[in-house]
Amino acid sequence: MKIKKRYKLLIIIIIALFIISFIYLKFYRSHEYYVSIGDYLSVSEINGAVPKNYNDIFHDKNKTKQIKFYNEYLNSSKLLSMLESDYKNISYYLNNSKYVVINVGNYELNSYKNLNEENIIDYLNNMHNVLYKVRKISNSKIFIVNLYNSSNKFELVNKKLFDYSKKYDLKYIDLNKLEFDKYYVISDKYYLNSKGMNKIGNFLLKNC
């Protein structure tokens, strides 16, 4: 009888440990990181007038570890390849993230001398696959930043990004609600100035 009781106790302990491990993995471990993914508009260092980008502003006020996957030339095709090849363990960080911000397309679509329908379709197809994969990997709160629509050439693109945000339960950030004279500077590209960075950073904070 004593042996049976010991077995029962051992089984209870194993089950308890399993439940505790599951709760930890589900609710605590998955909230370790803030993953920021973006192109030149996310990289404030290129524009020396901006001391912090919106990711830094958001990160400073929450307890997550910031993981950056962005550079000036990141485009939708490269990002999709990063996800497919698990570049620098990106899937691990996405799976263990609390927040994810994706801002890709401003460099890509503004870099074409003659932007055409095929370029736009390629971008939208890539982004649809990107968002599908990110949402499949991560159940965290995900933000998608649209494209600055300086001459209404990205109106359809932004509409599709908004549709994707609804489809995959993402928070949509509209750069075009920021007044150009107040929130942007221009050199060879459009940049968010410090006010613009703060505006987006505060939006993230309000919706986290």
Look up residue 32 and give its two tokens: 């370790």
- Give the sign of the dihedral formed by CA 180, CA 128, CA 80, CA 65: positive
Please indicate, yes or no, whether the overall pTM of this predicted structure exceeds 0.95.
no
Cα distance between residue 141 and residue 147, in whole Å: 20
pLDDT tens, N- to C-terminus, the chain (208 residues): 555 666 677 777 777 676 765 555 555 544 578 999 999 888 765 555 556 788 888 887 777 788 888 888 999 999 999 999 999 999 999 999 989 999 999 999 988 888 999 999 999 999 999 999 999 999 999 999 999 887 788 999 999 999 999 999 999 999 999 888 888 887 777 788 888 888 998 888 888 7
Say what the pLDDT of residue 153 is. 85
Alpha carbon of residue 208 to chain centroid: 13
Cα distance between residue 159 and residue 83, in whole Å: 24
Cβ-based burial of 68 (10 A; exposed 0-12, middle 13-18, buried ≥19):
middle
The CA radius of gyration of the chain, in Å to the nearest whole number, is 21
Cα distance between residue 110 and residue 114, in whole Å: 9
Say what the pLDDT of residue 168 is. 97
